[in-house]
Structure 1
Amino acid sequence: MGKLQSKTHLHTSKYRADGSAEKRGPVTAVQQHGPVHAEAVTSVAALKPDLCVSGGKDKSVVVCNWRSGAVLRRFIGHEREITKVTCALDSHRVFSASRDKTVMMWELLGTSGPRQHFPGHELVVTGLAVSPDASHLCTGSRDNTVCKWDVETGKRLCRAGISRNLVTHLCWVPGEPYVVQASEDKMIRIWDSRELHVAHTFPGKRHIQTCCDVSQDGRYCVSGSGGFAGEGCEATLWDLRQTRSQVREYRGHLQTTAACVFLPRGLAPGPVIATSSYDRRVKLWDQDSGACLATLCLQGAGPLASLAACDASTLLCGSFNAGIRLLQLSNRTDLELEEVAAF
């Protein structure tokens, strides 16, 4: 740990709203730490100011310090690869979903074994969202069902199924009893978690909806679309108050947009959305105008499967071929994005 290596193939690019390149930023040295996963990283989430949790194809759930790359806990218990990880902010509890059809809860300060099990889905669990107070958990699966669980007892409280609703992602609306869900049937749904029924369904998109995130104020949702060769591949902004249609699309990725997150207010003058794609690129978008503010291409990383915002200037990106990449935002002149560490 601590060895510096120059990544001459990495660059940042500025783009106009039409996607044309304006300039490239300088090459930066990247801090190389030992990899925390032996195989592809499938999901990453921010846990505390300096900590993150990740899951991988190696079946492990890892808590590490993203500033130093140091592994603090490694949880083993799932029989197949991890599909999603999540946590309640400032909580000591971590949740993981897996292709083994189960969800587990781990205690950061507890034993290495799972604190709670949530079995019951018939196929791989692909959606995972914990309530802000960490008392309830919502899970979704390729078995077309969404379930609500009591975190303390592990009891399943509700189960709802919709034909062809192959869940791809779940996220809880801050301060509300609602959960947003993305699906392979190209729909974005809003679930009322109190009785687990669909409160609203947005108009369908043309491609599979792969991921979703909700803004910190609970007003907007962003989703990512599948696609190839620039067909589809967009991110879409939805207004959770005016739910008739989409607000805006963010186009520029060439392959499936696999992750999308709202960034906390910080360096940019307005709200910013980050996306990552199978095209190995992370992009920053002006939420209001739809302009692409910056692009970072991670050569050799393979598909970029997940994103997490640690703070207003730091992103974590999970990759298939090159572990977790730590990305930094800066505004020396314009907004820039660069890789500073890998672990």
Structure 2
Amino acid sequence: MGKLQSKQKRNISRYRIDGDAGHSSVTQVVQQYSPAHNDAVTSLASLTSDTCVSGGKDKTVVISDWKSGCVQQKFMGHERDVTKTEREEKGRQRKRLTISRINNWAPSRASGKKRMPDGLKLCTGSRDNSICIWDVETGDCLQSCHISRNLVTHICWIPAESLVIQTSEDKMIRIWNSRELQVTHTFPIKQHIQTYCDASADGRYCITCSNGFSGEGCEATLWDLRQAKRKVCEYNGHLQTTTACIFLPNTTSSFPLVATSGHDCTVKIWNRDTAVCVSSLCLDGAGPLTSLASSDAANLLCGSFNTGIHHLRVNHSNSWSLTEVARF
């Protein structure tokens, strides 16, 4: 076979993809690249317009070109699972921030427009019920606060604010003033553990999501941060825990969009304001989906337990569709 033999990174797999929300099942050709991780992908973040950073249960952090499926760099050093990856950008310098379950650290976030205005501080949350503010340059802990039963699941900065949104296993959603490290607002308590949170680019909204099973819980919730922190709507449709919820970048669509992923192997795209699911895709065999990331309006990345990172294409035409392009 010699020169005619295909390289491993160019293997192609063909399988059936079932989409709901009014879309018929079709057979798609999905490009299969060499896996970026040797185990479950636990976290994803967009790094540049064509690269992403991911963390996994294999204790590694990987930078990949998601357009070509090629691994650019791999970092090893964590002693346990890498539970969160994020970028922090200041001027032309980009830093990758990673958190491991070593010392029981839980998800944290400090990236792009969601970091503190000075770009020099990082906020983390922990399973020891504490919130901490760190100096990015020195690694010193500047402040910490402990609240009983506040097992932190995720954190995000509100753009252009010194405020932090935090979700927890105690079913609470809190807003912190990072300058005094005090809780300034708590949302109405939810019925299920809150697993993730994200803030819109304009700082007006935040979205959170819940765990659950058999369709009980499993929802994502949109909150208005400017009008008494009220609930705007809920996105119901996942059958198991909703693990990630993000605002999608500005699109050519006539309405704003959010995306969710869950343990039910599905990724869903929603009309942000009406909570109508405009597209849904089941990633057969992927196992629980863990994370989402997006750098532009047409492309979405999804991390999974069994099948690595999935590159999805968002079609904004009249016949809305969400299709898988590649996995790596």
TM-score class normalised by the smaller sequence: over 0.9
1:126-165 superposed matches below 5 A: 126-130=107-111, 131=115, 134-165=119-150
Relative to structure 1, the CA distance from residue 244 to residue 218 in structure 2 (aligned partners, 3 Å threshold; closer, same or farther) is closer
What is the letter of the counterpart of residue 184 of structure 2? A
Q: For residue 203 of structure 1, what is the aligned residue in structure 2?
A: 188
Q: For residue 263 of structure 1, what is the aligned residue in structure 2?
A: 248
Q: Contact 2:40/2:57 (CA < 8 Å) preserved in 1?
A: yes
Residue 265 of structure 1 deviates from its aligned partner by 1.4
Unaligned runs of 5+ in 1: 16-21, 102-122
C-alpha distance in 2 between matches for 1:332 and 1:291: 16
Find out whether 1:6 has 2:8 as its counterpart. Answer: no
C-alpha distance in 2 between matches for 1:218 and 1:333: 29
Q: For residue 341 of structure 1, what is the aligned residue in structure 2?
A: 326
C-alpha distance in 2 between matches for 1:136 and 1:233: 32
Residue 4 of structure 1 deviates from its aligned partner by 2.3
Q: Contact 1:224/1:236 (CA < 8 Å) preserved in 2?
A: yes
C-alpha distance in 2 between matches for 1:291 and 1:312: 18
What is the letter of the counterpart of residue 46 of structure 2? A
What is the letter of the counterpart of residue 330 of structure 1? N
Find out whether 1:27 has 2:27 as its counterpart. Answer: yes
Q: For residue 117 of structure 1, what is the aligned residue in structure 2?
A: none
C-alpha distance in 1 between matches for 2:189 and 2:136: 32
Q: For residue 264 of structure 2, what is the aligned residue in structure 1?
A: 279
C-alpha distance in 2 between matches for 1:6 and 1:62: 26
C-alpha distance in 2 between matches for 1:267 and 1:255: 31
C-alpha distance in 2 between matches for 1:255 and 1:178: 30
C-alpha distance in 1 between matches for 2:38 and 2:23: 36
**Cα offsets for 1:318-338 (capped at 9, x unmatched):** 000000000001134322100
1:158-197 superposed matches below 5 A: 158-197=143-182
C-alpha distance in 2 between matches for 1:339 and 1:292: 18
C-alpha distance in 1 between matches for 2:36 and 2:14: 21
C-alpha distance in 1 between matches for 2:110 and 2:173: 15
Q: For residue 301 of structure 2, what is the aligned residue in structure 1?
A: 316
Q: Contact 1:306/1:318 (CA < 8 Å) preserved in 2?
A: yes
CA RMSD of aligned residues (A): 1.3
Aligned match for 2:213, one of 224, 228, 238: 228
Q: For residue 240 of structure 1, what is the aligned residue in structure 2?
A: 225
**Cα offsets for 1:86-145 (capped at 9, x unmatched):** 1135752001111112xxxxxxxxxxxxxxxxxxxxx33333334155311100011000
* Count of residues paired in the alignment: 314
Q: For residue 214 of structure 1, what is the aligned residue in structure 2?
A: 199
C-alpha distance in 2 between matches for 1:249 and 1:208: 15
Q: Contact 1:168/1:181 (CA < 8 Å) preserved in 2?
A: yes
C-alpha distance in 1 between matches for 2:51 and 2:231: 34
C-alpha distance in 2 between matches for 1:204 and 1:33: 43
Moved over 4 A (4+): none
Relative to structure 1, the CA distance from residue 91 to residue 260 in structure 2 (aligned partners, 3 Å threshold; closer, same or farther) is farther
Q: For residue 94 of structure 1, what is the aligned residue in structure 2?
A: 96
- TM-score w.r.t. the length of structure 2 is 0.93
Residue 244 of structure 1 deviates from its aligned partner by 4.5
SS in structure 2 of the partner of residue 92 of structure 1: strand
Q: For residue 113 of structure 1, what is the aligned residue in structure 2?
A: none
Aligned match for 2:275, one of 270, 286, 290: 290
Q: Contact 1:259/1:276 (CA < 8 Å) preserved in 2?
A: yes
Q: For residue 42 of structure 1, what is the aligned residue in structure 2?
A: 42
C-alpha distance in 2 between matches for 1:128 and 1:168: 11
